[in-house]
Structures are given as structure tokens and as C-alpha cells.
């Protein structure tokens, strides 16, 4: 049997939900353990090696402090493969939605001195090369299992090219955008979640990021028909997609 791949999982500015999703794969974890050795994973174990070389590193969260940036740079140097996990790592996530940071910092910390310097939330790829991505807020357990299977066979994860809208059709869900006139982002969001939110009657917020070849001009018009203003539409589309050229 080939030696186990040595892996680490680090968290930066995030809620920790991406890591928790992996730990919730309780039935599959014994099989994962046969092929992977977790050298560093604080949510999993208090025994961690923060200096060893790594075959694979998983990184959750956005980068918001110089200390986090230094940890990320060190992790990149230690790792043969770096995988960004979750919306915060891929786009800045909900952390990047904050506006008027000076006012927010004053409201939260008052006149107290911050424990460290902070800056607006940035995705991991802003600072280092990323070899693969797992989208979602949080990701699906199946995303992790697919990743581990691919890595074990010597490959890297491929981008999911099917939109959430297609998965809604496969599940025979009522269209929340066209029929319900609700601002659903399913047509321009990459799938893999089996349309989890629309299947429960909740609109897709786009947390898995932009599907390849998304038709933004057409979707922009459909969102306007739900009653949103152009500014509100752009805000929704940029929440997890970042800046884009929608032709307006």
C-alpha cells in the first residue's frame, strides 16, 4: 500500500463551518483515515505539527490580518498542493460584505485598541497560488469525499460546470425565479449542492460561486423583474462572485 498522504487543515477568518462539515462525515472518515494522515487540524485534534512538509493543505476562511497572511504564506511553502475551502476562502465570503469598516470597528470595539492590525477580508488566491477549490457556505460533505478520492488517485478537483438551476430541474422543484418572482441566483451559481436551498423553498444566494459561462446580462434582467433595483441586483451578484462585467 502506498504511504498515506500528509494533510493539514488551517482556519483563518471564518466561522469554522467548513471544517465541521468534514467532521460530520462520520461514516466515511474511517475510510479517509486509511489514505490520509492529518498532521495539523486543530478542530480535530490537539496534537498538531505546524512545521512538517505536507502533501495537501486545506485552507478555510478569508485573510484579514498580517498574522493570518504570514501563516498562509508559511502553509503554502510547506505544501505541495493547496486547496481553498468555502466561500470565505474563495471570495471573502460574508466577511467581505462589511462596509464602512471604521464605523464597524468603532461600534464593536469602542475606544479599545485592537489586538492586531486588520484589513478588509481577502480571498486566499489574492496572496498565494491555489491548486484547487471546494465551494460552498459551507461545502457539501460529498465535496470533501470527491476531493479525497481524486487526491488519492493523484488528481486535482475539477470545477463543477452545472448550475444550481439544472439541479432544481432534476429534482422537479418549482422555479423560484420565474414562477415565484424571487431573486434566486440558481441559474448563475455552480451546482454540486443538489439545489439544497431551493428544495426547501429558499432562494439560492450564490454561495458556491459563479458557474462557468454564466449569462449575467439575461439574469440581470430577470432579477430586475423581481422588483430589485439595479444597485440591489449588483449587490446580490457581487456577494459571492466578486466584481464582474455584466454589461451595464
Q: Is 246 inside any structural domain?
A: no
pTM here? 0.90
Res 117 pLDDT > 80? yes
Q: Which domain holds residue 236?
A: 164-241
| Domain termination site, one of 125, 152, 179 | 152
Q: What is the dihedral of CA 108, 110, 111, 113, to 10 degrees?
A: -20
Q: Is 123 inside any structural domain?
A: yes
Q: Would you call 64 helix, strand, or coil by DSSP?
A: coil
Segment 33-51 shows an average pLDDT of 92
- Give pLDDT, residue 32: 93
- Give pLDDT, residue 90: 95
Bigger pLDDT: 136 or 117? 136
Task: Identify whether residues 237 and 215 lie together within a single domain.
Answer: yes
Q: Would you call 83 helix, strand, or coil by DSSP?
A: strand
Q: Which of 58, 38, 62 is nearest to 48 (CA)?
A: 38
Q: Which of 47, 60, 59, 48 is nearest to 16 (CA)?
A: 60
Task: Identify whether residues 110 and 168 lie together within a single domain.
Answer: no
How far apart CA 121 and CA 123 sit, in angstroms, is 7
Question: DSSP label at 36?
Answer: E
- Give pLDDT, residue 145: 95
How far apart CA 1 and CA 176 sit, in angstroms, is 50
Check which CATH number belongs to the domain holding 43 and give it.
3.40.50.700
Which of 24-28, 95-99, 136-140, 181-185 has the least mean pLDDT? 95-99
pLDDT tens per residue across span 155-180: 998 888 899 999 999 999 999 999 99
Segment 56-61 shows an average pLDDT of 98
Q: Is 189 inside any structural domain?
A: yes
Task: Identify whether residues 148 and 171 lie together within a single domain.
Answer: no
Task: Identify whether residues 232 and 120 lie together within a single domain.
Answer: no
Segment 84-98 shows an average pLDDT of 90
State how far Cα 177 lies from the chain centre. 24
Task: Identify whether residues 99 and 45 lie together within a single domain.
Answer: yes
Task: Identify whether residues 91 and 176 lie together within a single domain.
Answer: no
| Domain termination site, one of 152, 181, 211 | 152
How far apart CA 109 and CA 97 sit, in angstroms, is 19
pLDDT tens per residue across span 196-230: 999 999 999 999 999 988 999 999 999 999 999 99
DSSP for 150-183, written as a single string: HHHTT--PPPP-SBHHHHHHHTTPPPTTTTT---
- Give pLDDT, residue 1: 58
Amino acid at each position: 500500500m502506498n504511504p498515506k498522504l500528509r494533510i493539514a487543515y488551517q482556519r483563518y477568518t471564518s466561522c469554522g463551518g467548513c471544517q465541521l462539515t468534514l467532521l460530520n462525515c462520520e461514516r466515511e472518515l474511517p475510510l479517509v483515515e486509511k489514505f490520509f494522515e492529518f498532521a495539523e487540524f486543530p478542530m480535530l485534534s490537539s496534537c498538531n505539527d505546524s512545521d512538517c512538509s505536507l502533501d495537501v493543505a486545506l485552507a478555510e476562511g478569508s485573510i484579514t490580518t498580517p498574522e493570518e497572511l504570514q501563516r498562509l504564506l508559511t502553509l503554502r511553502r510547506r505544501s505541495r498542493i493547496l486547496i481553498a475551502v468555502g466561500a470565505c476562502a474563495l471570495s471573502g465570503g460574508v466577511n467581505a460584505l462589511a462596509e464602512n469598516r471604521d464605523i464597524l470597528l468603532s461600534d464593536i470595539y469602542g475606544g479599545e485598541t485592537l489586538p492586531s492590525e486588520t484589513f478588509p477580508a481577502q480571498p486566499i488566491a489574492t496572496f498565494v497560488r491555489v491548486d484547487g477549490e471546494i465551494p460552498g457556505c459551507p461545502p457539501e460533505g460529498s465535496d470533501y469525499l470527491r476531493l479525497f478520492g481524486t487526491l488519492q488517485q493523484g488528481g486535482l478537483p475539477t470545477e463543477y460546470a452545472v448550475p444550481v438551476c439544472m439541479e432544481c430541474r432534476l429534482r422537479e422543484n418549482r422555479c423560484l425565479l420565474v414562477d415565484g418572482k424571487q431573486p434566486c441566483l440558481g441559474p448563475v451559481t455552480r451546482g454540486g449542492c443538489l439545489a439544497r436551498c431551493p428544495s426547501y423553498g429558499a432562494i439560492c444566494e450564490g454561495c458556491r460561486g459563479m458557474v462557468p459561462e454564466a449569462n449575467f446580462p439575461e439574469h440581470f434582467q430577470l432579477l430586475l423583474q423581481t422588483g430589485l433595483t439595479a444597485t440591489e441586483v449588483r449587490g446580490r451578484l457581487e456577494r459571492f462572485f466578486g466584481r464582474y462585467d455584466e454589461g451595464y
